[in-house]
Amino acid sequence: MIDAVGILNSIPHRYPFMLVDRVLELEPGRRVVAIKNVTFNEPFFQGHFPGAPVMPGVLIIEAMAQAGAVLLLHDMADRNEKLVYFTGIDKARFRRPVGPGDQLRFTLEVLKLRRSTCKMRGLAEVDGKRVAEAEILSALVDRGS
């Protein structure tokens, strides 16, 4: 298990854009399971939507990608010199709204991993029910690039 401090040591994201609270499982090069506790204090709820708060789907996908970045960077000795960039999103589907009080559980599995590119299949669930899914493509780049 990796707590919030461990995540901060693994990826460069910070408030208000840190969207992963804990990693429950990590199989290097293969799979990661992580959670995001969605609270009413999230800054995006102010405008999405007043009186009917819904977590934006794009942020659910971003949280998935951050969990994937933890998987890619966690065991790298030079992870502070690297960034993981989105290069594509395929087969994204949103099944149910996510709101305050929900706990998102992300499961990402590596489909292809090459030297500097990766393709993962991601699934987001709340209470065992699928809320979103996507295939996420990313590139691992040097921070100076």
Mean pLDDT by 10 residues, the chain (145 residues): 94 94 97 98 94 97 97 89 94 98 98 95 98 97 85
| DSSP string of 96-135, one letter each residue | S---TT-EEEEEEEEEEE-SSEEEEEEEEEETTEEEEEEE
Supply the pTM of this predicted model: 0.95
Give the Cα separation of 50 and 38 in Å (integer). 16
In this structure, the chain runs to a length of 145
Tell me the domains of the chain and their CATH numbers. Answer: 4-142 (3.10.129.10)
pLDDT, residue 145, reads 66
Active site residues: 48
pLDDT, residue 79, reads 87
pLDDT, residue 144, reads 82
> What tokens appear for 115 in the block?
């030297």
